[in-house]
Structure 1
Amino acid sequence: MSIFRFPLLVWLGIGTLIISLGIRQSFGIFMMPITDTFQSGREFFSLAIALQNLMFGAFQPFIGMAADRFGAKRIIAAGGVAYALGLYLTSIATSTGVLYLSMGILIGLGLSATSYVIVLGAVAKVVPAEHTAKAFGLTTAMGSFGMFAVIPGAQSLLANYDWQTAMQVFAMACTLMIAFSVFMKTSAKNSTVSAVEDNQTLKEALQEAFKHPGYWLIHAGFFVCGFQVMFIATHLPSYISDKGLPGGVAAMALAYVGIFNIFGSYFWGLMGDRFNKRIVMTSLYMMRAVVLALFVMLPLTTESATIFGAAIGFCWLGTVPLTSGLVRQIFGPRYMSTLYGLVFFTHQIGSFIGAWVGGRVFDYYGSYEPIWWASVVLAVAAALLHLPINDKPLVRTAAPVAA
């Protein structure tokens, strides 16, 4: 199937992800101005971002269940409202308590309803199984364009205005997600859900997944992904600044993460369609381990920061089409938003720890070195965890009909 023949829902989902994730990935460059405003240490901002990621994950299984029951369009519209409200309240916050509510809880709720779990769950229902990884890869890749487009825009807003104005501009951008949701449709004639799956209850789907050892290994691998990407997204700008490089270098490095993630996500999605997803995932995590280790060991310069952004970006969110593809491959599309939502919750626990502990370790040791090396070790562990997963699709039989 050509990418140009994908249903309209796929392209509207891409537009939603560009806005939702582009804004989210730009929060790292707000650390310095926000902590200056509140005259606080970095742990304060790190905890707000960590809370956001924890709430993002905690809400996700329930939001996924709601999407499986009521449809993605309603969930995305409600999420757009929560996201915009959280950004606006952040812009007018005068105390740290308000920031925890707005940037932590409200934006976390908005993200859970407008990001990969909901969008990919809807895509899984309209795209044939043999093209799932490619569709997921394209959606992830183009959604990642938001990171490339939004971060330089946020940097420009901070340079010409203040961080409060930047947050308000982002709040207005969230209304576009609400507009996109109006045109999302998952018609019955396009559904890839089988009759047997359609008769399966949510309780049965959860019991089936919880008894599958591979499902828990998928959880463990995605925990590592969350730890790594949120630590880097939150603390890379400060790490680069601590080394005496200009703020523009950090913005450029994150922008390179975004643009190379576009190519990387689609590449890893294609590989997931052509080869065994477990082996592809192992290769991705081993690549991460090498890139992280070289970044820590080599001298930090403008050039090395840019190269790191490109290299880590290439394997940044390639885990998303592969992880979601494994969930869809093993358990089918019927309850994918719920099952992948639970996996994503584990990812966000990792994100919480990566964002918060990064600031905690820096405030205690005055260095990010321990967390960088922890990320290397975890990448190797995640690579090994995917090898024993049994990724064969579960075969279900219809219940006998009573006479």
Structure 2
Amino acid sequence: MLQVLLCGGAVVTLSMGIRHGFGLWLLPITQEMGWTRESFAMAIAIQNIAWGVMGIFVGIVADRLGAFRVLLVGSALYALGLAGMALSTTPLWFALTAGLVIGAAQAGTTYAVVFGVLGRQIPAARRSWAMGVMAAAGSFGQFFMVPVEGALIAQIGWSNALLVLAMLVLMIVPLAFGLREPGFSGSSPRPLRDQSVGQAMAEAFRTPSFLLLTAGYFVCGFQLMFIGVHMPSYLKDYGLAPHVASYSLALVGLFNIFGTFTAGHLGQHFPKRYLLSGIYVLRSVATVAFLLVPISPMTVYLFSAAMGFLWLSTVPLTNATVAQIFGIQHLSMLSGFVFFSHQVGSFLGVWIGGYLYDRSGSYDIAWYLSIGLGILAALVNLPVREAALQRPTPVAA
């Protein structure tokens, strides 16, 4: 179990840590290349929707062949996409590399794949806790990597910084060896399956709780990507120094370490639906407070700390609930479907933020949307039923 946690945590730290810093590239790239903020936002929005779409198919492959092969391909695609970002000369090329290629890479190197390994290797009594630890690793990646990325941009320029990250992300390859599963090796028997992929999909989409979790996760994606990508530019518009944005995103990552671990621990002892509803309500409350007080470095840091504690706290709770309801046989695939909804929200959060800014010169409407959606997500999680589905016992062959 320790090897799975360490290697999986390191993979997520790298993959999510690099991803959370993309907002730092918005201003240097658009200013040097003469592109609009909407064009940059569109590329990152495509990245999120590609991640969501590919996550479903990557989950199916990971459930059938194991995470090891998926991680190898995902790492290579991530490096290729980062290098392509650095060398892009047009918004279209940037959208293809930063969008499609990196989106596919993230599908193969982040939570859905690693959570599938955890589901199969960690006992149910410890599963929510283990997923909280893994989500905390992604948060540590944000805390550690965002300042590193900011320093790289300042010291060697945005293009060279991306090339350095392209080399760094290849470290996922050796880490993938620590996530090889005996049941998926050539010499070991494959796990028995009493459901086909189609049966598992049909069962999930007939289950109201699955649809409610999926709807709530849409809001999570909208809020996180709007803030993560547009917050640095929002602070710049108010005359705050660039380091305030870097520190604010780092604080999100730091406090998210505690938030995700706490959420995973509490999920072992309290109904997850109530915890999820509380997280979404508190996000909206924190946003309202941030918009009402005069903006300053201190208010930015306080908001970042509060949002950080709530940032990825939904991840272990949502995925553990899916595992609790449906079991682990098709966990990566079902997590991929839920995450697709998250990424549709991410697409809209990134794109709408850039669109509204270019049209109105302000992020105000996007902030109001984020607040309203948070209240909606809190409401839709309340009716979720967490009990395991009762299926007919399969007849032995």
TM-score range (shorter-chain normalised) is over 0.9
Q: 2:41 aligns with which of 42, 46, 52?
A: 46
> Secondary structure, in 3 states, of the residue corresponding to 2:193?
helix
Shift, 1:142, TM fit: 1.6
Work out the CA distance in 1 between the residues paired with 2:383 and 2:22: 36
> Secondary structure, in 3 states, of the residue corresponding to 2:359?
helix
Q: How much is the aligned-residue C-alpha RMSD, in angstroms?
A: 1.4
Note the 1:17-166 alignment, pairs <5 A: 17-166=12-161
Work out the CA distance in 2 between the residues paired with 1:196 and 1:29: 44
Q: Name 1:347's counterpart in structure 2.
A: 342
Work out the CA distance in 2 between the residues paired with 1:172 and 1:299: 41
Work out the CA distance in 2 between the residues paired with 1:168 and 1:400: 55
Q: 1:242 aligns with which of 232, 237, 241?
A: 237
> Secondary structure, in 3 states, of the residue corresponding to 2:179?
coil
Asked if 1 retains the 8 angstrom alpha-carbon contact of 2:222 and 2:342, the reply is yes
Shift, 1:240, TM fit: 0.4
Asked if 2 retains the 8 angstrom alpha-carbon contact of 1:59 and 1:109, the reply is yes
- In the alignment, structure 1 residue 332 sits paired with structure 2 residue 327: yes
| Matching residue's letter, 1:303 | M
Q: Name 1:192's counterpart in structure 2.
A: none
- In the alignment, structure 1 residue 203 sits paired with structure 2 residue 198: yes
Shift, 1:331, TM fit: 0.3
Shift, 1:125, TM fit: 0.4
What is the CA deviation profile of residues 351-397 of structure 1, one whole-angstrom value per residue up to 9, with x for unaligned ones? 00000000000011110011111111111110111111111101223
| Matching residue's letter, 1:159 | A
Asked if 1 retains the 8 angstrom alpha-carbon contact of 2:35 and 2:91, the reply is no
- In the alignment, structure 1 residue 358 sits paired with structure 2 residue 358: no
Residue segments in structure 1 that go unaligned for 5+ positions in a row: 1-5, 190-194
Asked if 2 retains the 8 angstrom alpha-carbon contact of 1:38 and 1:96, the reply is no
Q: Name 2:278's counterpart in structure 1.
A: 283
| Matching residue's letter, 1:116 | Y
Change (3 A) 1:220 1:161: same
What is the CA deviation profile of residues 220-252 of structure 1, one whole-angstrom value per residue up to 9, with x for unaligned ones? 000000000000000000000000100000110
Q: Name 2:187's counterpart in structure 1.
A: none
Q: Name 1:311's counterpart in structure 2.
A: 306
> Secondary structure, in 3 states, of the residue corresponding to 1:144?
helix
Q: Name 1:223's counterpart in structure 2.
A: 218
Asked if 1 retains the 8 angstrom alpha-carbon contact of 2:117 and 2:179, the reply is no
Shift, 1:401, TM fit: 4.3
| Matching residue's letter, 2:199 | E
Work out the CA distance in 2 between the residues paired with 1:328 and 1:293: 34
Asked if 2 retains the 8 angstrom alpha-carbon contact of 1:17 and 1:115, the reply is yes
Work out the CA distance in 2 between the residues paired with 1:204 and 1:102: 35
Work out the CA distance in 2 between the residues paired with 1:105 and 1:204: 29
Q: Which runs of 4+ in 1 moved over 3 A?
A: none
Shift, 1:286, TM fit: 1.1
- In the alignment, structure 1 residue 323 sits paired with structure 2 residue 318: yes
Shift, 1:296, TM fit: 1.1
| Matching residue's letter, 1:364 | R
> Secondary structure, in 3 states, of the residue corresponding to 1:199?
coil
Give the % identical residues. Answer: 39
Work out the CA distance in 2 between the residues paired with 1:96 and 1:335: 38
Shift, 1:157, TM fit: 0.9
Asked if 1 retains the 8 angstrom alpha-carbon contact of 2:263 and 2:317, the reply is yes
Q: 1:370 aligns with which of 362, 365, 373?
A: 365
What is the CA deviation profile of residues 120-141 of structure 1, one whole-angstrom value per residue up to 9, with x for unaligned ones? 1111100011111100000100
Shift, 1:259, TM fit: 0.4
Asked if 2 retains the 8 angstrom alpha-carbon contact of 1:9 and 1:186, the reply is no
How many aligned residue pairs are there? 392
Q: Name 1:382's counterpart in structure 2.
A: 377
Q: 1:256 aligns with which of 237, 245, 251?
A: 251
Asked if 1 retains the 8 angstrom alpha-carbon contact of 2:183 and 2:191, the reply is no
Q: Name 1:3's counterpart in structure 2.
A: none
> Secondary structure, in 3 states, of the residue corresponding to 2:386?
coil
Asked if 2 retains the 8 angstrom alpha-carbon contact of 1:329 and 1:392, the reply is yes
Asked if 2 retains the 8 angstrom alpha-carbon contact of 1:7 and 1:126, the reply is no
Q: Name 1:266's counterpart in structure 2.
A: 261
Shift, 1:300, TM fit: 0.7
Q: Name 2:296's counterpart in structure 1.
A: 301
Change (3 A) 1:71 1:363: same
Work out the CA distance in 2 between the residues paired with 1:400 and 1:121: 26
Work out the CA distance in 1 between the residues paired with 2:375 and 2:317: 17
TM-score normalized by the length of structure 1? 0.95
Residue segments in structure 2 that go unaligned for 5+ positions in a row: 185-189
| Matching residue's letter, 1:200 | Q
Work out the CA distance in 1 between the residues paired with 2:354 and 2:80: 26
Work out the CA distance in 2 between the residues paired with 1:280 and 1:401: 40
TM-score normalized by the length of structure 2? 0.97
Q: Name 2:8's counterpart in structure 1.
A: 13
